Each structure stands twice: as C-alpha cells, then as structure tokens.
Amino acid sequence: MKPIVILGIFVADTAYRAERQPKMGETIMGNSFVLGPGGKGSNQSVAAAMAGGNVHFITRLGNDAFADIARATWAKAGVTPQVKIDHDSYTGAAYIFIEASTGNNAIIVSPGAAGRVSVQDVEEKADLIASAAVFVTQLEQPIPAAKRGLEIARAAGVTTILNPAPAATLSDDILALCDYVTPNESETESLTGLPVTTVAEAEAAADALLAKGVGAVIITLGDKGALYRDRTRSVHVPVISAGPVVETTGAGDAFNGGFAVALSEGRDVVEAVRFGCATAGISVTRAGTAPSMPSRTEIETLLAKGA
C-alpha cells in the first residue's frame, strides 16, 4: 500500500480543564491537568495510522523529554517517523484550555524545533513524498515548507490535502496546489472573508475557495457535520455521532486523518468524507487528542450502524 505522507509538527499538549479561563492577572483553580501528545500533523498521523493507513510523518524534534513522548506515541499507533533532531531548539508544547461545561477549547501553540522545519528538510524527503498516495500538511510549521511539500507531491501526481490550520493568509498559488482543502468554519472565514454559520454560507465560501484554484473544498462544521463541494457537486454530510461529546480538541485532526486514509484506499470522495466524520465522531467522545483517535474497527462499526 502506498504511504500517506504527512508534514507537520509534534507538540506536548498541556491540557487544563476548568470552569472558565482566567482573566489577565487572575489565578483560578482548575479541575484537572493532562500532559500528552499533540500537534496537528502528529495528531493526523496517529489518526491515519490508527485508521489503517501506512503513515510517514515528517517533522523536527528537540533532544528532550517531550521528544520521548512523541516517539512513544508514534510507535504505539504505528506511525513511521521521518524526524530531524534539532539540537538548537526544543520540542514544542501547547497550552490547551478546556471549558468543563462544554468541552470547547482555546489553544496556544509554541512549536519549538518544528517551527524551524525548512524547505531543505522537505526536499530531503522528496522521494518519499513522490511515492505517496496522499500528501497532507497544515500551517503550524513554516508555510514555505508546506508549499514545497505540496509542489513535490503535485509534480508526482500525488493527491494533496491542505488543512489550513491555524488560520493564515495564503496566496492563490499555494491554494492551486491543493486537491482538497479542509478548513473549519473560522478558518474558512479567515481565508475568504465570508461568514460561515450555515450550510448555505459554507457553500458560498467554498465557491470562493474554488475560484482561487482549489480542486475541492471540505468545510468541517462541528456539530453540523461537513460540507463537500467541488465544481460539479455539493454534498452535506451530517455529523456521525458516537455518543456524548467529552472534548472537541483534535476532532479536525481525526477527520483529516480518516479522510486521508479513505482517499488512499481509492474510495469515493464523499464516502471518504463520511469516513472522516466517523473518525471525528468517535474522537470527541474521549479526552485528549492523539489518545482519542479510534481504531479501524471502531470506525467501520460506527459507519455500519449509520448505514
């Protein structure tokens, strides 16, 4: 099976659950704390590997204890690391606030070594990227590195997915390298300047992205599921629920990992969106990011129930 190659970052997630965020200068008591693996690229790699993909992950780590967490996480999930050790930096970390009553989150990411991923790092993995079924990247590592990865993949005929998160200004030439872009509502608004509060508004925003040269758009809509739209069809895929929501952190990463696996297996794109929605639907019933990613069996069982 051709690999899924993902470029991105690993960070150690420091997750604090509390009733509310503190105001500036204020100290409040939290309900819990968890230290675990995170970073969008790493989370997507874990999700894809757990869902049955042959996954290779390109990144940088420091030489420290947080790097040990990364290696253990990837080994458990079956991700093949393609890692450069950066002795002049540190393995990244993220502050995650989780609102106890809703499970909603707010995040600060300090990428450390992964923030120094370079175009040269990507070019050193050009043969691997060119051999892939699917190439995935995001915007937590420097954008020039992401662009170079997309260029290499596109030149080799590899399916390209850009998860434009966190939101950033992107040139049309980057967007034109993408077979699929997978923003959430707020990221879509940032990219297009258009509101996304309904499915109809999502369709209009997707059209704006298609006009910039994107192959197809999948907008993840939280509890409203996901919208798939290209130049010939538009399909709203409802949320696929696996139970009460515990935490939404990592849901987008779960979707992207599952979606990439289904595409790599040659599934129809709408079926791949459903597979991604099922992956995300299970992940939000659990705490954490990488630890919440479901197995292939769990995803297929949920899809069978929905069918």
- Rounded CA gap, 73 and 209, in Å? 35
Helical H runs in the chain?
40-50, 65-77, 119-123, 126-130, 143-155, 172-175, 185-192, 199-210, 251-264, 269-283, 296-306
Interatomic CA distance for residues 281 and 111, integer angstroms: 27
| Catalytic, out of 13, 86, 121, 253 | 253
**Beta-carbon contacts of residue 261 (< 8 Å; ≥ 6 apart):** 4, 48, 51, 52, 53, 275
Distance CA 226, CA 251 (A): 12
Longest dimension (CA), the chain: 53
Cα separation of 25 and 249, whole Å? 26
121 is catalytic: no
Catalytic positions:
253
